[in-house]
Amino acid sequence: MTNTSASLPVLARWPGLGGWNFYFLAKFLLVSLGMLDFQALPNLLFAAFLLIPLAGKWLRVARQLAAVPIGIALFYQDTWLPPFSRLLAQPGVLDFSWEYLLELIGRFVNWNLMGALALLLVGYLYLRHWLRLSTLSLLGLAWLAVGGLPSLGFSAGPAPGAEVASAADQVQGGAVADNASLDNWLERFFASERERVTAFPAIKADEQPFDLLVINICSLAWDDLSAVGLRDNPLFSRLDVVFDQFNSATSYSGPAAIRVLRASCGQSTHAGLYQPAAEQCLLFENLAKLGFQSNTLLNHSGRFDNFIGDISQQNMPQPGLRNTDFPRALVGFDGSPIASDLDVLRRWWGQRKGASAEHVSLFYNSISLHDGNRIVTADGGTRVADYATRANRLFGELGSFLDELERSGRRVVVAIVPEHGAALHGDRMQLSGMREIPTPSITHVPVGLKFIGMGQPARSEPLRVTAPTSYLALSELISRVYAGLGQQQALDVPSLLSDLPATEQVAETSGAQVVNYQGRAYMRLQGHADWQPIPKERP
C-alpha cells in the first residue's frame, strides 16, 4: 500500500499545531471563565504562522523558537493587564518594597485556575493520541472570531470591535450600545461639564466663622467596606450627610487629589487635569477669597508618583508638618514611613487653635489604607496588616479626632472624601489591588460630611444624597454652607441638600475610560478605538 503522505512534496504537508493546541485550549478555558479579553484576529494569524508548511528542519525549529516569545506576548495582550508601556511610564513601580512585590506576585496564583489547567493538560495529553486536536483548536478560533461562544451565554468580554453580548446580558441590560452612540454621549457629557461651575457667594457681613477640613482617604470604596463587613461602621453612622452614589471619576491618587482640589468646576477629562485650571475651578482658591487660610497636610512623604507636585500645582501650600515628625505607625508599600492619622491631625489642630485666622481650610491626605502597607510592631519591626484591621484603626482614630473637635466648641465642617477604592477582591479583569481600569466598584466611594458646632439635631442616621454625584456637588454644598450659616446659628442641612448638581458616572485613567450608559457599564482601553461592555461579575 502506497504511503501518499510520504510521497507529497514537503511544502504540501500541512503540520498540526502540536503542543500549541494546549495553548489555545487553555485560552478557550480562560475565555469561558471571562478571564481573557480574547482578540480573534491576532490569534488566527498566530495559528496560521504555526501551520504554514516549511521546507527544512532548521526553518521549523526557528519557527518554534520565534513562536515562544510571540505566544507569550499575544497571551499578555489578551489579558486585561495594562500594556508594558504603562509600566515603563510609571517609574515609581521600581520603588515598591520587596515584601510588596512578593505579595503582588502571589496574587497572580489562582489555585482553582491552576487545578483547572492541570486537568486540561491531563485531558490534552490523553486525547492527543485519539483526536486531531488541531482541528478542534481551529474550529474554536473560528467560532470565537464570529462570536459563537458569547452567543451560548458565556460571560466573556467580546473582542474589540465585536459588538456582541451574551443572551443573558441582553435580557438583563438591553442591547449593547454601539461605538458611535457612546462616543457622541461622552463628547456631549464633557461639553456640558465644561459649562458647569459653582457660584460662591460674596463675603458675608454677618458670617459665622468656621473651618473646613477635607479628609482625602486613599483606597476606600463601598465595595471594600462590604468585602470586610464594615459597610455599617460607627464613623459613617455619626456623620450628618452621606452621598450614596458619589463617583470619584478615577482610580489613582494623583488624579483623585486634583479632582478634589478642582471641585468647583464640572468634570474634566483625564488629560485636562494636567492643563492649567481656571481659578474659579479651584475649591481652596474660592474659599481663600472668603477669608479661609489654606493648609495642606499628609501622613506620608508625598514623593511617590510626585503626589505632592500634583497638589502644589493646584495653588496649595506645602504641608505644614512632615511625616517624619511623628513615630511610624505604618510602613508603606514603598518602604516609607506613614504616621498615625490621629497623631498628625491632633498636632495640626493644636496649632490651628493657637492661630489667629478666623477661617481655615485644610486638605489632608491619608494613605493608611493603601495596598501593601505594614503595621509597625512594638519592637520596631513590621507585620502584614489586613485591610479590616487598618480600616478599623483608621475609623477609630478619625472618630477620636471628631470627639476632639466637638469638645473644642468651634464650628467645623469635616468632609470625608475618599480618592478611590482598594479593589480588595479584584474582578475578572484585574487582580486584587489593581486599579488600571476604573470600574464602578473602585470609583463608587463613600463621601460624608459632619457639621460640628452648628446646632445640628441628634440623628439616628445620616441624611442621604441618593442622586449620582461627584465633586461639583461637594463644592456646591460647601458654598451653600457658607451662604447659609450667617443667617442663623443652626444650619438647615436638609434644605442645603436640595437639587445638588448630579453628575453622570464617567471615570478615566491614562489607560482606560469607563462610562455608565443607559444603566450599563462600558469601557475603552488605551490603544483600542472600540467600547466593550464590562463583564458582569458572577454572584
Mean pLDDT of 183-201: 97
Residue 100 reports pLDDT greater than 80: no
Q: What is the pLDDT of residue 172?
A: 42
219, 508, 525, 528 from 252: Cα distances, Å: 9, 9, 16, 21
Alpha helices in 108-210 (DSSP H): 111-127, 133-145, 148-151, 167-173, 179-193
Domains belonging to the chain, first-starting first, are: 4-145 (no CATH), 188-508 (3.40.720.10)
The top-scoring range by mean pLDDT among 55-59, 83-87, 164-168, 181-185 is 181-185
pLDDT band at 134 (very low <50, low <70, confident <90, very high): confident
Helix 253-261 to helix 471-485 angle, to the nearest 10 degrees?
Answer: 30
Residue 410, SS3 per DSSP = coil
Question: For residue 185, what is its C-alpha cell?
Answer: 454621549
The answer to whether 158 and 532 have CB atoms below 8 angstroms apart is: yes
Residue-wise burial string across 256-280, b where 16 or more C-beta atoms lie within 10 A, e elsewhere: bbbbbbbbbbbbbbbebbeeebeee
Rounded CA-CA distance 73/278 in Å is: 43
Secondary element (H or E) of residue 215: strand 211-217
Mean pLDDT of 26-53: 86
Q: What is the pLDDT of residue 171?
A: 35
When comparing pLDDT for 151 and 198, which is higher? 198
Strand partners, 375: 330, 383
Question: For residue 396, what is its C-alpha cell?
Answer: 477609630
Q: What is the pLDDT of residue 94?
A: 55
Q: What is the pLDDT of residue 321?
A: 94
Question: For residue 17, what is its C-alpha cell?
Answer: 499545531
When comparing pLDDT for 413 and 539, which is higher? 413
Residue 40 reports pLDDT greater than 90: no
Mean pLDDT of 296-320: 94
Q: What is the pLDDT of residue 152?
A: 38
Rounded CA-CA distance 243/474 in Å is: 9
Helix 20-32 to helix 57-78 angle, to the nearest 10 degrees?
Answer: 10
Closest CA to 267 of 520, 443, 437: 443
Residue 360 reports pLDDT greater than 50: yes
Cα R_g (the chain), whole angstroms: 28
Question: 437: which DSSP letter?
Answer: S
Q: What is the pLDDT of residue 148?
A: 47
Question: 520: which DSSP letter?
Answer: E
When comparing pLDDT for 8 and 303, which is higher? 303
Helix 387-408 to helix 341-353 angle, to the nearest 10 degrees?
Answer: 20
Chain mean pLDDT for the chain: 86
* From 161-165, 199-203, 433-437, 496-500, the region with the lowest mean pLDDT: 161-165
Q: What is the pLDDT of residue 161?
A: 35
pLDDT band at 79 (very low <50, low <70, confident <90, very high): confident
Rounded CA-CA distance 363/243 in Å is: 19
Residue 428 reports pLDDT greater than 70: yes
Question: For residue 188, what is its C-alpha cell?
Answer: 456631549
Question: For residue 216, what is its C-alpha cell?
Answer: 482625602
Distance of CA 85 to the CA centre of its chain: 19
Burial class (CB in 10 A: 0-12, 13-18, 19+), 238: middle
Mean pLDDT of 237-251: 97
The top-scoring range by mean pLDDT among 3-12, 225-234, 454-463 is 225-234
pLDDT band at 192 (very low <50, low <70, confident <90, very high): very high
Closest CA to 395 of 213, 234, 240, 232: 234
Residue 8 reports pLDDT greater than 60: no
Rounded CA-CA distance 353/357 in Å is: 9
Residue 538 reports pLDDT greater than 90: no
Closest CA to 34 of 335, 430, 512, 467: 430
The answer to whether 467 and 500 have CB atoms below 8 angstroms apart is: yes
Question: For residue 525, what is its C-alpha cell?
Answer: 482601553
Mean pLDDT of 115-135: 84
Burial class (CB in 10 A: 0-12, 13-18, 19+), 30: buried
Question: For residue 101, what is its C-alpha cell?
Answer: 512585590
Rounded CA-CA distance 526/49 in Å is: 27
pLDDT band at 250 (very low <50, low <70, confident <90, very high): very high
Mean pLDDT of 67-75: 91
Residue 169 reports pLDDT greater than 70: no
Residues 385-425: pLDDT tens digits?
Answer: 899 999 999 999 999 999 999 999 999 999 999 999 999 98
Rounded CA-CA distance 505/252 in Å is: 16
Q: What is the pLDDT of residue 446?
A: 98
Closest CA to 391 of 235, 161, 538: 235
* From 41-45, 272-276, 337-341, 501-505, the region with the lowest mean pLDDT: 41-45
Percent of the chain at pLDDT > 90 equals 56
Strand partners, 363: 214, 296
Helix 111-127 to helix 20-32 angle, to the nearest 10 degrees?
Answer: 140
